[in-house]
């Protein structure tokens, strides 16, 4: 009976160890490996059988890890976590690992060794990096239109000095100021949407029934006015298509999808915007003949801050548009999908439920 009990207890512990999402290494008082779970074996790139009784410092070529274990064992306070990057055949990409070590106390408080938890923090580090990049991009995106607004405002304030008495010219300057202020407003609205999404709040919708085709025609006409370089081809169903949705938010969706198509496709190319009615949904797709994306890049486009090209020569943008678009579409009970071929072009398609009630 005692034997069965002991076996059961061991099984239980094994199951618990396996279910831990972190890597776990137990070492004895001489820093020799006693136990490792599956993830720890993967991270270290050795099996428990190979590692057992070996000194713990042979697991990772990272001195601070060993120093941490040694200082915890020596009862020293201080840095109780270290971080480093590992790369082995189990992983396609380098992983950032954070290690926490604590003492293992047996019965009567007797110290029998150490236990180290290895947490994979790759995703957090990647997010940190994108956030830092985002802050500098956001500052830059705000500064560019602001510089234009300030410059033209200064000219208009000192008309004599600058010799601009021509009312037509003054009007042109004012409309530039207006346009750039609108751009600033758009950026600030994106930032506010982002902070609402971060806080876990749904984007608040003000729904009312309206004709989506009319909105599409309006947005397309506005775009066509702004760009001479691209041809926008709009195909819409004959019938009236009514949605119960937030008109302003959908306008924001269309603005971003069309502006992406314009930004990432060469001058002279065609952008097709096609609306269809399928059963109880309205489906819209925006297709460009632009630079396209690889499957890996497509996977990340809905992540906030993500931009394929974040260099200083990249087209303007914060990398927020598509993540906000996805939230808006999903808040309406719809779906969004991206198909893209690198070097060929991209199609973004969303569906929204039709308005059923009268």
Q: Of 18-26, 45-53, 122-130, 304-312, which part binds ligand ATP (CB under 6 A)?
A: 304-312
Does 301 interact with ligand ATP (rule: CB under 6 A)? yes
Give least dist CB 297 to ligand ATP, A: 7
**Quick one: three-class SS letters along 166-201?**
CHHHHHHHHHHHHHHHHHHHHHHHHHHHHHHHHCCC
Among 307, 326, 327, 332, binds ligand ATP (CB under 6 A): 307
Closer to ligand ATP at the Cβ: 176 or 300?
300
**Count of residues binding Mg ion (CB under 5 A)?**
3
C-alpha–C-alpha distance, residues 37 and 48, integer Å = 8
Q: In whole angstroms, how far apart are CA 168 and each of 147, 151, 179?
A: 22, 18, 17
Among 243, 321, 327, 352, binds ligand ATP (CB under 6 A): 321
Q: Could you tell me which residues are beta bridge partners of residue 86?
A: 95
Does 298 interact with ligand ATP (rule: CB under 6 A)? no
Each as own residue / partner, the long-range contacts of residues 306-315 (CB below 8 Å, 24 or more positions apart, any chain) are 306/130, 307/137, 310/133, 310/137, 315/263, 315/264
Does 317 interact with ligand ATP (rule: CB under 6 A)? yes
Q: Of 42-50, 99-107, 225-233, 288-296, which part binds ligand ATP (CB under 6 A)?
A: 288-296
Which alpha helices (H) appear in the chain, and where do they start and end?
Answer: 2-19, 38-44, 48-51, 63-73, 122-157, 159-162, 167-198, 212-226, 247-263, 295-300, 321-331
Q: Is 220 helix (H, G, I), strand (E, B) or coil?
A: helix
Per-residue binding letters, 193-232, with ligand ATP (x by CB under 6 A): ----------------------------------------
Q: What are phi and psi of 234, to 5 degrees?
A: -110, 125
Give least dist CB 236 to ligand ATP, A: 21
Tell me which of ligand ATP, Mg ion, none is bound by residue 320, counting a contact when its beta carbon lies within the kind-specific cut-off of 5 to 8 angstroms: ligand ATP
Tokens of 327: 């939230």
Q: Is 114 helix (H, G, I), strand (E, B) or coil?
A: strand
The answer to whether 253 and 328 have CB atoms below 8 angstroms apart is yes
Tell me which of Mg ion, ligand ATP, none is bound by residue 291, counting a contact when its beta carbon lies within the kind-specific cut-off of 5 to 8 angstroms: ligand ATP
Among 322, 329, 336, 352, binds ligand ATP (CB under 6 A): 322
Q: Of 10-18, 74-82, 127-135, 306-314, which part binds ligand ATP (CB under 6 A)?
A: 306-314
Among 203, 308, 331, 354, binds ligand ATP (CB under 6 A): 308
Its sign, for the CA torsion 193, 199, 201, 206, is negative
Interface of this chain with Mg ion, residues 135 to 194, rule: CB under 5 A = none
Does 319 interact with ligand ATP (rule: CB under 6 A)? yes
Interface of this chain with Mg ion, residues 254 to 283, rule: CB under 5 A = 256, 260
Among 26, 69, 213, 318, binds ligand ATP (CB under 6 A): 318
Closer to ligand ATP at the Cβ: 27 or 322?
322
Helix (H) or strand (E) holding 83: strand 81-86
Among 321, 334, 348, 355, binds Mg ion (CB under 5 A): 321
Does 41 interact with ligand ATP (rule: CB under 6 A)? no
Q: Is 151 helix (H, G, I), strand (E, B) or coil?
A: helix
Q: Of 164-172, 200-208, 217-225, 307-315, which part binds ligand ATP (CB under 6 A)?
A: 307-315
Q: Could you tell me which of 113, 151, 87, 88 has the C-alpha nearest to residue 33?
A: 113
The answer to whether 335 and 350 have CB atoms below 8 angstroms apart is yes
Q: Of 38-46, 48-56, 103-111, 286-294, which part binds ligand ATP (CB under 6 A)?
A: 286-294
The binding site for ligand ATP (CB under 6 A) comprises 190, 256, 260-261, 264, 288, 290-293, 301, 306-309, 317-323, 346
């Amino acid at each position: 009976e005692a034997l069965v009990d002991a076996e059961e207890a061991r099984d239980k512990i094994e199951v618990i160890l396996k279910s831990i999402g972190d890597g776990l290494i137990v070492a004895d008082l001489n820093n020799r490996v006693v136990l490792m779970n599956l993830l720890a074996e993967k991270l270290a790139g050795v099996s428990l059988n190979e590692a057992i009784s070996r000194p713990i410092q042979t697991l990772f070529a990272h001195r601070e890890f060993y120093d941490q274990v040694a200082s915890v064992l020596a009862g020293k306070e201080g840095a109780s976590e270290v971080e480093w990057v590992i790369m082995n055949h189990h992983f396609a990409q380098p992983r950032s690992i954070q290690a926490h070590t604590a003492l293992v106390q047996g019965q009567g408080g007797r110290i029998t060794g150490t236990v180290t938890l290895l947490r994979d923090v790759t995703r957090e580090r990647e997010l940190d990096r994108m956030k830092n990049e985002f802050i500098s991009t956001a500052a830059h995106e705000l500064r560019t239109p602001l510089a234009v607004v300030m410059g033209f405002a200064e000219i208009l304030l000192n008309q004599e000095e600058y010799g601009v008495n021509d009312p037509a010219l003054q009007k042109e300057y004012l409309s530039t100021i207006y346009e750039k202020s609108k751009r600033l407003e758009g950026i600030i609205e994106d930032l506010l949407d982002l902070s609402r999404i971060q806080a876990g709040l749904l984007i608040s919708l003000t729904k009312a029934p309206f004709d989506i085709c009319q909105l599409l025609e309006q947005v397309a006409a506005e775009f066509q006015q702004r760009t001479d370089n691209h041809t926008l081809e709009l195909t819409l169903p004959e019938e009236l298509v009514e949605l119960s949705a937030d008109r302003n938010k959908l306008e924001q969706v269309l603005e971003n999808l069309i502006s992406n198509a314009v930004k990432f496709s060469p001058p002279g190319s065609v952008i097709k915007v096609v609306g269809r009615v399928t059963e109880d949904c309205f489906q819209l797709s925006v297709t460009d003949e632009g630079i396209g994306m690889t499957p890996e890049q497509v996977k990340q486009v809905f992540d906030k801050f993500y931009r394929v090209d974040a260099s200083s020569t990249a087209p303007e943008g914060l990398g927020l548009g598509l993540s906000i678009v996805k939230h808006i579409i999903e808040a309406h009970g719809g779906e969004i999908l991206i198909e893209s071929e690198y070097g060929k072009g991209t199609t973004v398609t969303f569906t929204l439920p039709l308005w059923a009630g009268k």
